[in-house]
A and B are shown apart, each in its own frame.
Chain A
Amino acid sequence: MTRPGDILLSVKDISLRFGGVRALTDVSFDIHEGEIFAIIGPNGAGKSSMLNCINGFYHPQEGTITFKGEERRQMRPHEAAAQGISRTFQNIALFKGMTTLENVMTGRMLKMKASFVEQAFYMLRGRQEEIAHREKVEEVIDFLEIQAIRKTPVGRLPYGLQKRVELARALAAEPQLLLLDEPMAGMNVEEKEDMCRFVLSTNHELGTTIALIEHDMGVVMDLSDRVVVLDYGKKLAEGTPGEVRGNQDVIDAYLGVSHD
């Protein structure tokens, strides 16, 4: 499963503070091309903050993030999207008033180039693009098996399907790096198995590099090629699932240490 490629994203000595709260302290790791990389840790360890830094929502005070060999410090989320990073959220962030199809179509936003006039008259590129991108979107819809809910407003869908639509929207952008923030949270076993299947086939068939946050250790150990463990904003360990599982610091962080 492990296919060690070039370094796609490199995080170096990232520190993030909110006033006096140190959310992240000197965290460094690399994500290689084509791998599934998991970020784990107890609640409040700074996992989501880390994703938010990579994705441009937060701007770390110190440290650098290098994506595809280009270093950057300050970046807006839409610029990250333009570079090929897309993500899903812990608490679903779909456009509730729009249908599944429209939601997934928004994922193609940056690839559409029709001018205002072409869109207003639904002619030339305005029309061609809608149809060409619809075909791409239908591929994603087939891939994630959500054909039946194409025209349903997402607000009416059950939780598990909403999560899947959100993944579809992220995939529609054909990202190089996909960030998944707790993709299996709140799901039953069957839904989790489905979601694992989709994450794995995204990685295998589309070759997308995936960084995911997940609390279900079974899922993390089965899916990921490498794992980084955060606790109180610091990196505890990094390595293959097997290495991390045997690490004494990690066991202490999760189970607690007796102070006698």
Chain B
Amino acid sequence: MLYREAGQFKTSYSADQAMLTIPLDRWFVFALTAFAVIGVPLLASEYLMVSILVPVLILSIAALGLNILTGYCGQLSLGTGAFMAAGAYLAYKIATNITWLPIWVVIPLAGLCAAAIGIAFGLPSLRIKGFYLAVATLAAQFFLLWLFVKVPWFVNDSISGVPPAPPRSVFGFQVTGAAAGNEAKYLFVLAFVIALAWIARNLARSRIGRSWMAIRDMDIAAELVGIRPLPTKLSAFAISSFYCGVAGALWALCYINSVEPTAFDINRSFQVLFMVIVGGLGSVLGSFLGAAFIFLLPIFLNSAPGWIGYSVASDTITHIEFMLFGVLIIFFLIVEPHGLARLWQIAKEKLRLWPFPY
């Protein structure tokens, strides 16, 4: 940022523990939020809002969820897609069966159901770690998707198996389904993003966040200071699955406007995992950066040749996309495991001293 941090003193612990300790940072975030709430719906085009911002914001929620589990608590999971699917199918089930329930209650409720499922699949984490746990969560991925496809109860015995999202309104504006207005949809998703990002940040700086990180960094020492491993790991699984469930519900109801299993397959799990790795493990900001980066890169690759008056076959672009992702993942794993968020932090540290080396 274009301001100096020197001389900005704090005189109380309460000020030192604020979420954003520097006043200008605080103003910047307030301004950004205000712009996202007021400016974007007025200025942005339909394409930008519905096809780019809405999916990026929803995937940010999923990335936040996985970051809580993998980045903060150190439990590797490949079941993100399944927990998103749980949120999506159960949101549909609840919304269509309890029609009087407002949609802004239905989605967190679906998240809670996903959390319960997450706890069940998190139980092995007490005994197994690392790659073995990843394989155990992979079981969740395949089992849950199989269950939702196989049992027609989840989709109210819909013949196609891919029911359209039920149209629901908040304050008289329709927010779900194909007929919903762009602005209403965008603001509905944004409200969830702001609330969940704020909660994630609060959890990370509270006792529960410290106990997750303690388990991640050294579980024996964590037990020594009085952290019980099982409840701590399960709480990370529950909260992570809650976030993924909410993201899945929003994805189905507000973005693709139908509940379909292909949207939540293993590729989705990997996509969210890449977002977390590229964005930065253990960082709320990183979840957003990663989601935006991974989602926008293919779009950028598709349109960039056009901007410079050069045409490339679309399958070539797909190949380039694959190669680029592979390179990026390896690059981040080797060079900067803390991802874009850490790069941003390093840039800030360098700029603080610039033009002097130290």
Contacts and interface: CB of A to CB of B under 8 A. Distances in A.
Contact of A96 (B19, B218, B235): B218
Contacts, number: 100
A132 to B, nearest CB: 9
Main SS of chain A's interface residues? helix
A120 B213 contact: no
B203 A78 contact: no
Nearest to B209: A119
A126 B202 contact: yes
A116 B242 CA distance: 14
A95 B213 contact: yes
Q: Which size bracket describes the interface of A in this complex?
A: 35 or more
Given A119-B202, A131-B17, A138-B13, A107 B225 contact: yes
A77 interface: yes
A226 B343 CA distance: 53
A130 B13 CA distance: 9
Given A97-B213, A98-B213, A135-B13, A86 B202 contact: no
Given A94-B218, A116-B208, A130-B206, A106 B13 contact: no
Given A98-B217, A122-B202, A81 B224 contact: yes
Chain B interface SS verdict (over half): helix
A87 B202 contact: no
B213 A109 contact: no
Given A98-B213, A119-B206, A130-B206, A82 B226 contact: yes
A141 B137 CA distance: 41
B46 interface: no
Interface in A113-141: 114, 116, 119-122, 126-127, 129-131, 134-135, 138
A94 B216 CA distance: 11
Contact of B211 (A81, A87, A109, A122): A109
Given A89-B221, A120-B203, A130 B17 contact: yes
Closest 9 CB pairs of A and B: A95-B217, A93-B221, A81-B226, A119-B206, A110-B226, A122-B202, A134-B13, A77-B223, A112-B207
27 contacts: A57-B220, A77-B220, A78-B227, A81-B224, A87-B224, A93-B218, A93-B220, A94-B221, A95-B221, A95-B222, A98-B210, A102-B213, A106-B211, A106-B222, A109-B225, A109-B226, A109-B227, A116-B208, A116-B235, A119-B202, A119-B206, A120-B199, A120-B206, A129-B207, A135-B13, A169-B225, A173-B225
Interface of B: 13-14, 16-17, 19, 199, 202-203, 205-208, 210-211, 213-214, 216-218, 220-228, 235, 282
